[in-house]
Structure 1
């Protein structure tokens, strides 16, 4: 039986790792029963994924040579549903994910949403450090205190984790540019125009595979530079210099935040902490470079 949700929502599985990671992510998405598409390079498609595409009539968008934001844009422009979700293949969607989507889609003021990000196992220390840095503020332990104090299943949010995104498609298209969908740039603009973003407790995913490219130091530098460069677009020269000087403190601030998230997991804390400090330091140098010299070609590194 087809439900309203089936017609209103498309899930786009964004290939980051490919291979077994893509297989498991797609299988978890299939379990939701919702319409889905795969955005991936041809060499990431395994025989099993080809069988899934054939047997379940799933569409595949060839995204060779595209950055992650560009892959999201390809999916957004391709589908016609009212809502679109982006799931990166480093993770699988949890059993409650569909019900979380349905709850958010019933919220008339919701422009976008996401949910808790869980650490699966096994993940090596570099992966744990990377995910604590990128998604630590969305770990269940970090969200539980706020949700308990407010007594709500959905909390308003200023930003959303890029591994798991849900948006009203037409609204999203009005904010995208030639770079595609960069959530750290688009989400503040969405909020600034009075639209609401939410974190719903049921809309959760579990990280299961390592983004080896994302965990490289040059990638962390370029992601930091991209962030700083995008922020600098709307700043005059003195303000950019002030932001750059403030980056001296950034490694300490970011490391403390990520180490707090790591402590909440209670796993491999001592061996992962050093990687966190190194990642946050490299990111901070990149962000400082972005304020001073612009984003350069850092978007091309976001593969």
Structure 2
């Protein structure tokens, strides 16, 4: 009896990280609406946290079980290591793709684009307090994208797997936007801004959790740049005194691309400033003491 030929590797693997707050039922509906299910050349890999939240009857849908204490970075790294594909896309279960997402990604793959990313649009009503997280982290990525922006949305990125040969995974985690910046700076590859591949921000908002999250992200940022900065990290640490105001002004400038966002930034000025104080304290701690011990807040 002859051995069965191995199934061909998918052209695209979509890794979707999740937390206990993720709406898996809504995610599945969004994946179906976006046309991502039952595609023979695509493998959709969804992280399941603690108790099973969805089954996987679709041919190209795979579930990866994690504990609630597994950081997003580790979820992505695990999925990437256990799969093979020519392209990898990184999404967040709370920020599902829109209907035109796959069509845009296929076009970029046909064009052999090494790295590309898309917009992040809010799915919450304008005055909804859940927009606070969106304004702080993703207002600059609202459609249409500014291709000159020197940063990238970590919840809507795609890249060629072969780039991992030159900028490999580090440890058990995978810092998405740090990887893209390394690809840009070390390999001279400019990520392509693709306005047609948008995702919708639908993250829930818990104030205490969010402040802890901002602190941990700030600390990871400081730790990631401490070695590069050398002794200059001490000067950056002192900058904590004015950093919250600088970060707030950056958010305000980003919001000016859409008047409705500017109004919301002004409406939520106090919580935004408080959150940026949490980031700033974390960044200072990162310069001086390294990365945070608890990675569950890193996504």
| TM-score class, shorter | 0.7 to 0.9
Distance change >3 Å, CA 208–CA 300, structure 1 → 2: closer
Tell me the equivalent position of 2:174: 181
Tell me the equivalent position of 2:157: 165
Instruction: Give the drift of 1:239.
Output: 0.8
Q: Which range moves more in the overlay, 202-211 or 29-38?
A: 29-38
Structure 1 residues 213-252: Cα deviation after superposition (integer angstroms, max 9, x where no partner): 895212211110111011102232x311111122322111
Tell me the equivalent position of 1:3: none
Instruction: Give the drift of 1:298.
Output: 4.7
- The CA RMSD measured in Å over matched residues stands at 2.6
User: SS of the residue aligned with 2:282?
Assistant: helix
Matches within 5 A, 1:222-237: 222-236=216-230
Select which of 119, 132, 136 maps to 2:135. Answer: 132
Quote the Cα distance in structure 2 between the aligned partners of 1:82 and 1:235: 34
Runs of 4+ residues over 4 Å off in structure 1 = 122-126
User: SS of the residue aligned with 2:90?
Assistant: strand
Matches within 5 A, 1:250-289: 250-262=243-255, 264=258, 266=260, 269=264, 270-289=266-285
Q: Which range moves more in the overlay, 225-234 or 266-275?
A: 266-275
User: SS of the residue aligned with 1:92?
Assistant: coil
Q: Does 1:89 align with 2:83?
A: no
Quote the Cα distance in structure 1 between the aligned partners of 2:137 and 2:225: 18
Select which of 175, 186, 194 maps to 2:188. Answer: 194
Distance change >3 Å, CA 214–CA 183, structure 1 → 2: farther
> Is contact 2:140-2:255 (8 Å) kept?
no
Instruction: Calculate the TM-score normalised by the size of structure 2.
Output: 0.83
Quote the Cα distance in structure 2 between the aligned partners of 1:112 and 1:206: 20
Quote the Cα distance in structure 1 between the aligned partners of 2:177 and 2:295: 13
Instruction: Give the drift of 1:36.
Output: 0.9
Distance change >3 Å, CA 265–CA 113, structure 1 → 2: farther
Quote the Cα distance in structure 2 between the aligned partners of 1:196 and 1:89: 26
Matches within 5 A, 1:52-91: 53-56=56-59, 58-64=61-67, 65-91=69-95
Instruction: Give the drift of 1:260.
Output: 3.5
Distance change >3 Å, CA 300–CA 95, structure 1 → 2: closer
> Is contact 1:225-1:298 (8 Å) kept?
no
Q: Does 1:38 align with 2:46?
A: yes
Hey, which of these two has a bigger chunk of helix by percent?
1
> Is contact 2:236-2:284 (8 Å) kept?
yes
Quote the Cα distance in structure 2 between the aligned partners of 1:99 and 1:232: 40
Instruction: Give the drift of 1:56.
Output: 4.6
Instruction: Give the number of aligned pairs.
Output: 279
Query: Gaps (5+ residues) in structure 1?
Result: 1-5, 147-154
Quote the Cα distance in structure 1 between the aligned partners of 2:290 and 2:250: 26
